A and B are shown apart, each in its own frame.
Chain A
Amino acid sequence: MSDNLKYTQEHEWLKIEDGNVAVLGITPYAQDALGDLVFVELPELGRKLTKGEHFAVVESVKTAAEVYTPVAGEVVAINDNLSGDPELIKKSLEEGWIAKIKLSDPTELEGLMDRAAYDKFTASLD
């Protein structure tokens, strides 16, 4: 499989828009591990994030999972629809994204996995 997304070992996907904005969500692997989702804590618009900082929390029936950004930048959009319906996260990239981050340093993307590498990574976890 291949797509034009980037992936992290923390099971986030990133879609790059306009070269300098990362749309960020959590992968089906993470969704499956969490089970039914009941709450999403979103970051504030305009918040400046450092690389590796947790900026959102996805809560399932059993646990609260922190979502980390693999890139530094500013939160320029949040998916407010998730407040009313956390399960949207599982629907599609278009409906399930959590936040958009304007990149401070686009070269930080270079260390992230592509789909093939991520599939290999998740296969190694099972």
Chain B
Amino acid sequence: MENNVLKWLKNIFLFSPKEPKYRFVLDDANNQDDNGGTDTSRQAKKDTEAKNGTQPKDEDKVSGRKAKNGKRTVVDGVKQPIPINEMNEKKREKKDSSANALFIDTSINVNLEYIKQRYSADINGDFVIREFKVIVMNKDYSVFICFFDGLVDTIVVNMSIIQPLMTLSTLPVNTKDQTVRDVVYNHLIPQSQIKICRTYQEVVDEVNFGGLGIFIDGLDVAFACDVKGWEHRNVEQPTSELNIRGPKESFNEINRKNSALIRKIIKDENLIVEDILVGERSKTPCSMVYIKNLANDSLVREVRRRIKSIKIAYLRDAGELEQFLEDSPYLPAPQMLLTERPDRVASYLSEGRVGIIVHGSPFAIVVPVTFFNLIHSPEDYYLRYPYATFLRLIRILGILFTLLLPSFYLAVTNYYHEMLPTDLLLAIASAREKVPFPTVISIFIMEIAFELIREAGIRIPGPIGPTLSIVGALILGQAAVAANLVSPILIIVVALTAIGSFAIPDFSLGYSFRALRFIYIILASFAGLLGISLGIFIHLLVLVHAKSFGVPFMVPFAPKTSGTRTNAILKTPLWKEEDRPDFINPKDIKQQAHISRGWLKRRGGANADETEDKDR
């Protein structure tokens, strides 16, 4: 009876009362893919059955559904077909693995010919092949080495590779029970990093990245030595994250130098630098950096999974990697922190976050981050907390100025005159008296002119810089007012907006706010404060909805986390920062002892047995 009523109601209210047999589940990507596979197999099975003249049975349906889980079963002796995509993927993998697995030949002539051909040695000007002889166990062997000129340190090549191979073989060494390979490896190449390679691909990968390959006649292996010696910048002062207090080192473009800069600060054997190659052609070395016994395993796994899943040809910079890793590409705010300061990365790693270093980029990526991390400056930790808090409030004011000041000015002057004191209202009105444009046009003129000057200021060659400043000052200041294009008060508004945008510590976040302020201006011109409210509401909604590697972007306020430490807007004293941020779920939540200032014990400020003093 109940079912009949239900059917009747469904017939009335629903277009399609029948429930689909296999519901399409939106939030399970794997199932979607698998469903596709199952459909294909089901279709194939139907075809087979049609050929055999049999009807599908219920059992078969069940087994067909079982195949959904990726296990391709044999039904009725018929092997399930593989989808075309999967087959192509397998073919490509097979092809790649066969190319990679080309083993080194024992004949040096074959090897030499292969390397010459692989590197187009006849036309490749910077590729060097040097052939010579080496004596091992009183026997002459032909040898050749290959490397890229400019990528290697020539002195190291000469003194640590060629000279020992040519001369050390004459020294008396005990070669009893040793093969030629062992003698060369153990006695003739005084190098710290040598890799024994069995395939050409391994040697090629090393040579492409500043290594040197050694091929010896009669050996089915080659030696790859790390002799990198390319020109690079030294460790210099940061250019985009300047500070007065604190370390003044910044990353450079060399992966290992950058990891060393972090390791130099952290000095912990649990600091893991896990290498992953990104880019099918560029094979750019990237390093995931984390503290093994602090970073949450699922976070580390997720970062690793995302990096390894990237399939691109070339990766040049951390900025590119960021765009491939971020949760929401359309969010008007960065979801990762890119910093050029090793001390900042070290500080975040010690909270349980994960850093990513990209070879060739002077910026390291830190994940996960929240909105509030992006408005912090590394200097906050080196200054006393009242000053740091003051600076943070100033920065928030800067953000509000950048985002809302022009639109608020527009709303008040257009819609809410009564909000202004009469004298100020008269001053604004008299200043605007000669301006022929509506306020919104004047604001757009000034803001766009300012953006042009700022963009040109970055691109302009150094010697012409002062000229731009003079022209900019003239256009934005005196001339615009003199020509009655804008009112003098608007100049103050635009100047405050510009200064506010420079106070935002994160470069990428600054871009976001600079762009969004134009939307706020349009909304304010359209609907005054209601428009601004709408803008703020949608902006906040999007930010609250966003996540950075699973961590809500507006945490610890939305959602409110239970941790005692917030340190998001107001800076807490360092000695009070006892816990790591709980929203990262570090393996060890305690950052420091409850009484971190041990000397206080002497004064009775805390109990001698380190138990909590409730009155403190």
Do A and B truly interact?
A: no
